[in-house]
Structure 1
Amino acid sequence: MNIDALEKMLAKGNDSAMLRFGLGKAYLDDKNIEAAIEHFKHCVAQDPDYSAAWKLLGKSHLQMDDKASAESAWQSGLEVAMRKGDKQTEKEITVFLKKLKK
């Protein structure tokens, strides 16, 4: 789905964590990092257990060269992934955090 279609859904009041994640991912892919961050933040505010959103929020912050915010998002995502048993996201975030600290 393209950004315009997702934005229309949001404008109609269909706000949800999944929609915000989709918008965040679409904007991230489109290199509109500020918009991606905004939507990922809304996503995790609506569903703090959305570990994939925390992961991409961290990646977005890193692309803006905001290492502290990236680390914070990834720490939150790591806690969620570990609690939920989301092993793949846990592994990915662990790698991101190790690279960040180098």
Structure 2
Amino acid sequence: MNPMTQRLQALLDAGKETALLRYTLGKAALDDAQPATALEHLLRATTLDPHYSVAWKLLGKTQLALGDPAAARQAWEHGLACAQDKGDAQVVKELGVFLKRLDKQQG
């Protein structure tokens, strides 16, 4: 575990849990090729803040990395709805691209 991840984990262990902290730990785990750990953090991030579109985006990527395209689709569709509600055009665009790629892959 790298020093940054250790500091973030220490915050979590100290009871400072937030959706952003869980998202950041999930991203770090995915970057470190630990998708199962990333999944745990990202599921918690989306539970803490169900409108956190960027967390839904990364959750979908994680689920796809774990071989679950159906779960990835659900996460991305949920994230897309959240991003549309917030007017986050960049995330709307990215998730639209991810969903189109998934459609192509699945025929």
TM-score (norm 2): 0.93
Identity %: 47
Structure-1 residue corresponding to 2:82: 80
2:51 partner SS: coil
Structure-1 residue corresponding to 2:33: 31
Q: Mark the runs of 5 or more structure 1 residues left unpaired by the alignment.
A: none
- How many corresponding residue pairs? 102
Tell me whether 1:49 sits opposite 2:55 in the alignment. no
Tell me whether 1:64 sits opposite 2:62 in the alignment. no
Tell me whether 1:3 sits opposite 2:8 in the alignment. no
Q: Mark the runs of 5 or more structure 2 residues left unpaired by the alignment.
A: none
**Which 4+ residue blocks in structure 1 deviate beyond 2 angstroms?**
none
For 1:91 and 1:43, how far apart are their aligned partners in 2?
A: 22
The alignment yields a C-alpha RMSD, in angstroms, of 0.8
TM-score (norm 1): 0.97
1:33 positional shift: 0.2
